[in-house]
Amino acid sequence: MAGPALTELWLVELAKAAPALAEIEAETPRLSGDDRRRAVLLADAREQRLRLAAYCALRIALERFVGLRARRVAFARDRAGAPYLAGIPVRFSLSHARGVALIAVTRLHAVGVDVEGLRTLPMTDARRQRLLAVGAGLGGMPLSGSANRALLQAWTRLEAFAKARGGGVRRLFADLRAGGPAHASASGSSCRALAAAAQAAAQRCALGVSDLDLGATLIGAVALAASASAPLPRYFPCDAAGVRRLVAGDG
């Protein structure tokens, strides 16, 4: 039986996996009452079902690392609202968009993930340039692809890093002074300074931000300990037999 690596990344096709995950959950409950309450807050019944599937997949991914301690216990939450398992040495991150969920679980000190569907982000040119600068600085490499894809890639780098760092995106921008007078313009010099500030922030936190290959219509990133290599994302099983094998440690 193969155990988990230091870090695992899972891409869950929620609509396909939801029936199997509901079946597994009915057999062996893993969700907490808080998980269910958060899903029910969504107005659309389909979105509730997909969110429950994402939560079930997360609990199973966590169980691979910490065993039965991941079952049914309510997550604690930090000041920014990010969930964690109190007293258990594991970190995780969950992001969902366009009917998929991206899950990271690690034994390392921090992790953050973000996934976005290919779409247009409306914003001013000045804000666009600042976002591109931050994304380039956090990733330590230029952004590529179409202008819109590059912008979304910058956004996923920013979200993933903010989750791993803690405190959220707004606090990160405030700390980088992205919205202040020092970076109010989109001039080349201010954008270079912003990129350098973002790169320095990643170095201070000992975090590395990596882009993820999730196909033509999805864009994603992971932030992980700088000393670690980001693993390749794997597809979460969509059938009950496959989920059972994953639970057994054979995935």
Specify the range with the lowest mean pLDDT, choosing from 64-68, 112-116, 138-142.
Answer: 138-142
In the chain, % of residues over pLDDT 90: 76
Strands (E), 82-202: 83-84, 91-97, 100-106, 111-117
* Tokens at 176, concatenated: 């980088």
C-alpha–C-alpha distance, residues 73 and 59, integer Å: 10
pLDDT digits (tens, 9 = 90+) for 162-208: 999 998 888 888 888 754 444 445 566 688 888 999 999 999 999 99
Cα atoms in the Cβ-side hemisphere of radius 13 Å centred on 195: 19
Helical packing angle, 33-40 and 45-66, nearest 10°: 150
pLDDT digits (tens, 9 = 90+) for 3-54: 678 999 999 999 999 999 999 999 999 999 999 999 999 999 999 999 999 9
- Taking CA atoms, 91 is separated from 62, 71, 78, 224, in Å, by 9, 15, 13, 10
Asked whether the predicted pLDDT for residue 225 surpasses 60, the reply is yes
Cα atoms in the Cβ-side hemisphere of radius 13 Å centred on 203: 8
Helix (H, G, I), strand (E, B) or coil at 40: helix
Name the nearest CA neighbour of 235 among 16, 72, 77: 16
Average pLDDT, integer, range 127-146: 91
C-alpha–C-alpha distance, residues 75 and 93, integer Å: 12
Amino acid 96: pLDDT: 93
User: 234: which DSSP letter?
Assistant: E
**Mean pLDDT of the residues in the chain:** 91
Neighbouring residues of 135: CB distance < 8 A, sequence distance ≥ 6: 143, 150, 153, 154, 155, 157, 158, 198
The domain limits of the chain are: 14-86+234-247, 117-212
